[in-house]
Amino acid sequence: MTDSLNFSLSEEHKSIKEAARDFAQTVLLPGVIERDIACSFPKEEVKKLGELGFLGMMVDPQYGGSGLDTLSYVIAMEEIAKVDASVAVVMSVNNSLVCYGLDKYGSPEQKEKYLKPLASGEIIGAFCLSEPEAGSDATSQRTSAEDKGDFYLVNGIKNWITNGNSASVYLVIAQTHAELRHKGINALIVEKGQEGFLVGKKEDKLGIRASDTHSLNFNDVKVPKDRRIGEDGFGFKFAMSTLNGGRIGIAAQALGIAAGAYELALKYSKERKAFGKPISEHQAIQFKLAEMHAKIQAARWMVYKAAWDKDQGNSYIESAAMAKWYASEVAMWATTEAVQIHGGYGYVREYHVERMMRDAKITQIYEGTSEIQKLVIAREILKL
């Protein structure tokens, strides 16, 4: 027998959960529908999120962060995503991709200059990997970073960039030595406002409409060598390592969307009456709620396990991919069921679940589709 399993949250984790839930309910909820309709970036809400320490949760306090563990992060992410998935994805990118990448691989000088304001929420960042012909295939980068001695000259286009116009710092993955393929890729820090760096059109999206997603154009952008992360050719490993952690954040976002829709469906089922009694007393609805609850709880433990693996220093490639795949599938299914439970009301904006159903779809797409997660899992279990 072993006593190493503990399914209870610590008092600190409970406090973080309560703080995140309170923020979501009091600050995010009042304007979430209006922001979705207008595709309005939640600038003030994100600023307040940063002031509470939720934008650099796992970064050491010496660099402006909260110094918390990954489990704290996913607990907070779930509560934010229950109400506003657009704010959750801003939080996810800043924590899981930008801050994590700089914290783990950045130089002391890069951490001092960029990580501090990012982790404290003074500014936010963007992670720039996807391209028109290189989404999940990170080895096929067309964006180039030509070595000019003491600087790189960057040219190319990046697509689907979250925080595309709102960020101040961009981590850009670009090809320097094309003949070396993935071993010739670099990760560079680009600042907003640099000559030749232009923010392209804003995408009009199905879901997470309040987050700003843009294409980015790089036209002879000069990036000093001291803004390269790691050694020459380290960019591919940097991107893959960062994305592994990013999957945990997306899994937590998907979990939150599913759990938020379930909570609304549960509440509605107790209020809505049909045939003389609340619909929660009809077996058909009970079956739906029971299955939603069970699948969401299973997703939650998978997300927690991935976070725990990361905190323990274990390999979390498999557990993160499993959590991301399963939680995103549950999010799409549970939000659809929540709309069904609401009936006609589920199809209108004021009941929120139609927005959650639209938001859920993206969790099956970014950080790699469900099929890609299955490939990652297969490679781990087959030792390929």
Place of tokens 């992060």: 73
Distance, in Å, from the CA atom of 235 to the CA atom of 248, rounded to the nearest integer, reads: 21
Contact 186, 234 (CB under 8 A): yes
SS3 250: helix
Place of tokens 């979501």: 24
Q: Which one, of 368, 361, 258, lies nearest residue 322 by Cα?
A: 368
Distance, in Å, from the CA atom of 378 to the CA atom of 362, rounded to the nearest integer, reads: 23
Residues 6+ apart with CB under 8 A from 136: 368, 369, 372
- Our answer to whether residue 367 is catalytic in this structure is yes
Burial class (CB in 10 A: 0-12, 13-18, 19+), 247: buried
CA distances from 370 to 142, 240, 261, 306, 335 (A): 25, 17, 21, 17, 17
Catalytically annotated residue among 45, 318, 337, 367: 367
Distance, in Å, from the CA atom of 18 to the CA atom of 21, rounded to the nearest integer, reads: 5
Distance, in Å, from the CA atom of 339 to the CA atom of 382, rounded to the nearest integer, reads: 39
Q: Compute the Cα dihedral for 228, 229, 231, 233 and give only its sign.
A: negative
> Which residues belong to the active site?
367
